[in-house]
Amino acid sequence: MLALLILIVFAQVDLSGAAIDDNERSVLEAVLRDPELIKRTDFGSFVLSPTTHLASMTYVTVPPFNEMTLDRSQSAFTLSAELVESLRSRNEHSVSLLGIARPKPTRRSGATQVNPRRNVDVSRPGFSDKRTSAVVVIMGTEGDCRTRGGCAHGGYTAYLERNDGGWRVVGHGGHWIE
């Protein structure tokens, strides 16, 4: 029985040697510090999935979900085929997210929102060839599925740029809810 459980767990994670590297860790931790996520998430009862989410890149491949808006300028652009392909290929297998730093609850986190996000799934980042830009798809459950009010699943795409040696979310797009 234990052997079967171990086999099931390892079947969920890529065993080809692909593991989350320091660059991916930095990108994902930047996403988790992003005010867009923080303002809608109840980090007091927050659950980050233990592995990356495989289906999440589906929403990036078709318009309008591949359209980003830069936060400061409000200028819009379409994700490059290079970034979308990197996201798709890097998410063919899930990897463990153990060791990713989770934000601590703050006064500005979304616990006071009507339907705060409680569960968060992230994709592995897709990178540009020069690794100066990246995209991550964030999915979450809003509300409480155990109550009469119910819940909804939704997500968006975060666009990041590397500057001053670190990663920072500079744009968002592809918002969806189901």
Ranked by mean pLDDT, the top range of 6-20, 33-47, 100-114, 155-169 is 155-169
User: How far is 10 from 7, CA to CA, in rounded Å?
Assistant: 5
pLDDT digits (tens, 9 = 90+) for 157-174: 899 999 888 999 999 888
- What is the DSSP secondary structure assignment for residue 45, as one 8-state letter? G
Q: Please give the residue that has the higher pLDDT: either 112 or 26.
A: 26
Residues 6+ apart with CB under 8 A from 60: 66, 79, 84, 87, 135, 137, 157, 174
Global pTM reads 0.77
In the predicted model, is pLDDT for residue 108 greater than 90? no
In the predicted model, is pLDDT for residue 110 greater than 60? no
In the predicted model, is pLDDT for residue 105 greater than 50? yes
For residue 43, the one-letter residue type is F
pLDDT digits (tens, 9 = 90+) for 117-134: 667 788 899 999 999 999
Domain ranges of the chain: 20-177
Query: Three-state SS for 176?
Result: strand
Helix (H) or strand (E) holding 38: helix 35-38
Helix (H) or strand (E) holding 6: helix 2-11
For residue 94, the one-letter residue type is S
Instruction: Give yes or no for a contact between 68 and 143, defined as CB atoms under 8 angstroms apart.
Output: no
Pairing mode, strands 150-163 and 117-122: unpaired
